Structure 1
């Protein structure tokens, strides 16, 4: 059943619409080869750094266009999406005559400036890539929002995101949970990491499932260092009135601090200690203090309440990543 606007199209446009509606799937030749690139995009979003997200988004879109044998597009990642003039805009595809097509994506929500959840960001990315594929792969003369278009978008998402990965709760879901639920999530994580690592040898834990994906050891080091940043942010907020908050630089730290050479048992011990200190600090805070906050250079104002919700989501995401790395899956 065509959407309502179909009746307003010319006969030529309706023919394009019907052709688009008939095609319900875009098959990737080897979707598993793109899973490490999807993981890089997830990690980039957790960094909250626009330049990092830009690089990961470029790789993701280039991997898709290369896999499907279509011309590349220019990519631009912007900060907070506009909301007054552009409604619910998350992404934009433009293809001007004589110019390379361009995809623009907004990595933050308009009003609260939160990083867009991974699934939302990837679906937006695939939506805009879908417009490019209408022209470059399917040979359509125009790109319409048809039922077939949305099914093609979903088919790409399902190939790129295994079912287990799709079950990870979004950041928004953690914002909607109670403080007790978030605290319980944070308290469980060190034991879950320890159980996952088990008695495996350090050499095994240092092995990457693919050249671009982190090893189990690198994931534990990342959790440890992010926990330190979290503690610094909470302490800074409590000691000052709306202070500037320290940033995290995951990719740079992994290189400069040589995560791959760290002792995983020692990294886990440090993470466990820092997480315990974080929980002790949070338990002593009266409810009103959870609304105290500071200014993040990219995300705007962040309250302690928001930081805790994001950390709970961060734990979920990297526990799932750790499980896959231990199984040799990127």
Structure 2
């Protein structure tokens, strides 16, 4: 499969519109998947662990916690993608991102390990996407009480990372 057409608004909850639009802006969502690995490593790879504990405010996540959130969401979205693309119609629950970040212990982990974990997940997801039958990207299931297509989930993987990368570049990195 060379291209994956963008999903229609009926294929995802309105909450995900920003993610979908960010992925569409990339022009080629499949090429964006590996490109984001380089972008993430280039943007964060030279930070020290101390720098990666930087927060915008006491109530915001640290840079390490943002990366941990990227890992968690990559896992959740890819699991949804697997189930839905395999025509599993079982409704899938949401997840409490704040609790996941709080329980991750990310600030006590080396940034390099967090980045490596994300990279391994993304590489596995790229192979899974490559090996999914093209027709199965049109499958629609339910997650967090809303309809979502397998195709939309691929776009959400890319858009979610772009959303947080923009925040890191605009809000976090200027503080260093």
Q: Is there any run of 5+ residues in structure 2 with no aligned partner, and where?
A: 1-8
Q: Give the distance between the partners of 1:207 and 1:290, measured in 2 at CA.
A: 38
Count of aligned positions: 167
Q: How far did 1:218 drift?
A: 0.9
Matches within 5 A, 1:1-330: 114-116=13-15, 170-174=18-22, 181-298=28-145, 300-323=146-169, 324-328=171-175
Matches of 2:49 and 2:99 in 1, distance apart? 23
SS in 2 for 1:280: helix
Aligned mates of 1:112, 1:287 — CA distance in 2:
16
Quick check: 316-325 or 271-280, which moved more?
A: 316-325
Counterpart in the other structure of 2:6:
none
Secondary structure at 2:100's aligned position in 1? Answer: helix
TM-score normalised according to structure 2 size: 0.82
Does the aligned pair in 2 maintain the 1:229–1:246 contact within 8 Å? no
The alignment's C-alpha RMSD in Å is 2.5
Question: How far off its partner does 1:193 sit?
Answer: 1.2
Higher relative contact order (CA 8 A, sep 6+): 2
Map Cα deviations across residues 180-224 of structure 1 (whole Å, 9 max, x no partner).
711122211121111112322101111212212222111111111
Compared CA separation, residues 171 and 208, structure 1 to 2 (3 A): closer
TM-score by length of 1: 0.46
CA distance in 2, matches of 1:200, 1:271: 16
Q: Which has the higher helix share?
A: 2
